[in-house]
Amino acid sequence: MNIINRLAPYTPIFIILLGIVPILAGIARSLQILGLPIGLPDIERILSSRTDILIVHITTGVMFCTLGAFQFSPRLRKRHPLFHRWAGRTLFAAAIMLGLSTLWLALFFPQAIYNGSIVKAVRLIVISSFLVMIVLGFSAVRRKDFVAHQAWMIRAMALSLGTGTQVYFFVVWMMISNVDNDLIRGSIFAFASALNLVIAERIVRRY
């Protein structure tokens, strides 16, 4: 049994750990928008635009990285196929809403300091690719091509986790350099997303 097969039962935990920073930040930011006294910075920028779209983005993003994580549990799929099917339908709708809300945010939401056109371009490429993968994964399962379905879902999950894994690379970057700008942030997000995709492709090819 190779290492990927041996680690398969722990996949949901790995996924949630990789997405934990945006998951926790998302819950905290949503509660802050709803009026709770949470000390996250930059709230003036957030409240200056469409917080409803941001909340849709955060809710569907958190759903995708938590409920979605359990779709990759081999044991759950085998023992509760009906759960996998119904969760999958819900997650398809959530993923489309995540994609569309992210497109809107990337194009129109006021950008955080240091984010500029490079971050915007990377976000647009990542989220458009995510949407294409979700549609390909859904159409594969409709024609009962389960191998292709699993492959596209692994790739889509890997891309969505780029928001989480970029944080770890950013922290390492800040430990070795204090340069922070649009190019650095865009490159780190592009690198994290590409690395996730390369790892996803290795996992896909083992099947």
Q: How many CB atoms lie within 10 A of CB 109?
A: 20
Query: Which of 123, 149, 155, 185 is the binder for ligand HEM (CB under 6 A)?
Result: 123
Determine, following the binding rule CB under 6 A, whether residue 163 of this chain makes contact with ligand HEM. yes
Q: Virtual CA dihedral for 127, 138, 97, 12, nearest 10 degrees?
A: -80
Cα–Cα distance measured from residue 153 to residue 200, given in angstroms and rounded to the nearest whole number: 10
Residue 61 or 186: the one with the smaller Cβ distance to ligand HEM is 61
Shortest distance, position 38 Cβ to ligand HEM, whole Å: 10
Task: Name the residue type at position 166.
Answer: Q
Residues of span 132-151 touching ligand HEM by CB under 6 A: none
Determine, following the binding rule CB under 6 A, whether residue 52 of this chain makes contact with ligand HEM. no
Token pair for 36: 């709770």
Q: Is 100 exposed, middle or buried (0-12, 13-18, 19+ CB in 10 A)?
A: middle
Query: Which of 19, 88, 137, 186 is the binder for ligand HEM (CB under 6 A)?
Result: 19
Of residues 118, 101, 120, 100, the one with CA closest to residue 110: 120
Spell out the residues 6+ positions from residue 157 whose beta carbon is closer than 8 angstroms to its own: 15, 64, 68, 69, 72, 200
Count of positions on this chain that bind ligand HEM (CB under 6 A): 26
When CB distances to ligand HEM are compared, the closest residue is 61
Contact stretch for ligand HEM (CB under 6 A) within 73-81, 124-132, 145-153, 176-184: 124-132
The binding site for ligand HEM (CB under 6 A) comprises 19, 22-23, 25-26, 29, 42, 57-58, 61-62, 64-65, 102, 105-106, 109, 111-112, 115, 123, 126-127, 130, 160, 163
